[in-house]
Amino acid sequence: MAEGKREKAAEKSCAADEKKGSPQGGGAADQEHLKKIPDPLLNWYTGNRRILPWREDPAPYRVWISEIMLQQTRVEAGKAYFQRFVKELPDVEALANADDELLMKLWEGLGYYNRARNLKKAAGVMMERYGGRLPASYEELLELPGIGPYTAGAIGSIAFGIVRPAVDGNVLRVVSRILARKDDIAKASVKKKIEAELQAVMPQDRPGDFNQALMELGAIVCLPNGAPKCEECPVAELCRARQAGIQEELPVKKPKKERRTEEKTVLILMDERGRMALSRRHSRGLLSGLWELPSFEGRLSEIEVRQRLEGKGIPCGEIRPAGQAKHIFSHVEWHMIGYQVRTETGSGSQSEGCCGGRDEGQNQGRGGDRDAGCSDDPVGSWDAGRGGALHIAEEPAVYLRDVEERRRREAEAREDSAEFSAETLIFAGERELADVYAVPSAFRGFREFFPGGGR
């Protein structure tokens, strides 16, 4: 669920939480204690903050992109993604008009792709209502797709100097330890209470720095899942949890529900030109609308894979194991077994695909023919009208028409079924995989078998 919807839904549950009992602690004593925090915290932040691209140039657009990008991404990993994104889409207008394939490619590897979709939706709203700019209002920011109280507080305070707290997991942990509270921070009522308490102590002249300082403290000093670095903490003398020796016990958070497990058989399906098959996922649900490696539910043997493919009218040659991989989503784990499969298109060309070729010493599984992924290679599609033979568009204009036709057939084929078919497969070479098609990180465990080794 997108951050905006999740946080807005959480607000609705707050009243129900409060009926069950007020959060622990609170009152005038805690409020007075928190008033002692800003000065030492800001002094520490001034001398110890990390140098980050969105901090050095905190333009509203850049702050917005960074905050959305970092919701589920580590800061160090996010820097390169951020630089690439703002170079390609430098402003609201460029984002609003971005091709969906380009947007997904820029987001490839970050996961939670609805964040990117909501960025584009919000950019469209800004073009219509605010002249291509982010609104300098907390309430108007909240109305944008993908933006909830935390993100609105962060953007508003950092980019516009609006005095609003930005309470994320780092901040909840820091405040819980400073006040030695044992409230369940997963409850909406607890988060709302901390937001109100921080609102009352925020410095009017540096709200953005105050929010960033709290988040920075939680990210690099007041660490989760282990011993915090209390000896480096600028507010250690004010930390009640440290004084009581319970800092490693806090914060309290109700365990998440156990994730379900799904078994999948993933296919690295290569044609005779060394290109790899992709299939677009259903328009709803997990990884909706993204390109993926074709797969079957369950853990299949090589014989079962061949039977399933030929049952779909997809002829195949040699099949080889491609190892196993696991990917963890928030609510489900994929346990995957992979196979390299060479298609037999009946074109009569010399095979240099993933499961054979003239030189057995080459990197098998990497598309034997090193020229197969060159930029002028068109993307192929299965043509049902030719009995499953691979149809290649040789002219650019024909290729573009083929893309549109393929997408139309694909949408029709996906209407009633989430599983791939011969009609929905496309074949992409190394250059297309690098520049055009975004393959989710869920399949990262099989990248060594992609054309060019998945570089």
The residues carrying an active-site annotation are 67
Burial call 79-115: b when 16+ CB within 10 Å, e when fewer? bebbeebbeebeebeebbebeeeebbbbbbebbbbbb
Give the CA distances from residue 124 to residues 29, 97, 118, 305, in Å, rounded to whole numbers and listed in that order: 46, 8, 10, 44
Give the DSSP per-residue string, 238-281. G-HHHHHT-GGG-SB-PPPPPPEEEEEEEEEEE-TTS-EEEEEP
Name the residue among 122, 24, 143 with its Cα closest to residue 65. 122
d(CA 319, CA 85): 38
How many angstroms separate the CA atoms of 76 and 64, rounded?
Answer: 17
Among residues 386, 390, 377, 401, the alpha carbon closest in space to that of 451 is found at 377
Return the amino acid letter for 258. Answer: E
Kind of pairing between the strands at 276-280 and 316-328:
unpaired
